[in-house]
Amino acid sequence: MLICYIRQHLNPNCPHTQTNKYRQTKKKEMEGSRFVLVLGLTLLTTAITPTLSTYHSATLPNVRHRQKVTRLHFYLFDIISGTKPSAVEVARPKGTKYDKSATPFGSVWAIDDALREGPEFTSKVVGNAQGLYVSSVQDENSLGLVMYADFGFTTGKFNGSSFSVFSRNPIMEPGERELAVVGGRGRFRMAKGFVKVKTQFLNATNGDAILEYKVTLVHY
């Protein structure tokens, strides 16, 4: 070993000299591989980080889709009386004067009203309207509501779809009155439009009502 160690400076073909050169070469190759790996991971992390660190995607131009118009016709049954009402008072203001009407000013009602094909109680149910309405008229001899309701369908072509209304509803106005459609889901996604409402029946004593709805929806 000592002789070979002395000779390695004179004889490059010494086995130990060749082994040392091989080890040095492999070491440099491994260091180079590690550098490339670290550099690659750094670049990958830099590329991914902006995507993961933001709460929104890039804003893109709107792609125009062809709009459709759908017209619906049904009857809403808003029943306050009886043992199983579809509209229930959930809040009433305190400290106000006594109001003998069925829907006193400031009261809030939760609804789950049936939607039927016709104005009779025996007509087929096609869906329901769920939401809230607020009695918004101070005159106890009148009746006016501001309502938010989601009109969902449970049968036929539009089963599982719904549209939303947020509008005032002056119940006592003669003839037709108009409500605003502000949205929709399912087949009525991004819907807008209007509803023509006409009172078919109103019990002024207990507040029960049957309303005819003619709906025009513009949607995608």
* SS3 readout for 162-192: EEEEEEEECCCCCCCEEEEEEEEEHHHCCCE
pTM: 0.71
More confident residue, 22 or 180: 180
Among 32-36, 93-97, 161-165, the least confident range:
32-36
Lowest mean pLDDT among 52-56, 74-78, 119-123, 179-183: 52-56
Distance CA 137, CA 103 (A): 10
pLDDT higher than threshold 50 for residue 22: yes
Average pLDDT of span 87-100: 78
Q: What is the pLDDT of residues 133-168, one digit of tens each?
A: 998 888 777 778 999 999 999 999 999 999 999 999
Q: Which two tokens mark 121?
A: 């109680």
pLDDT score for 73: 98
pLDDT of residue 29: 59
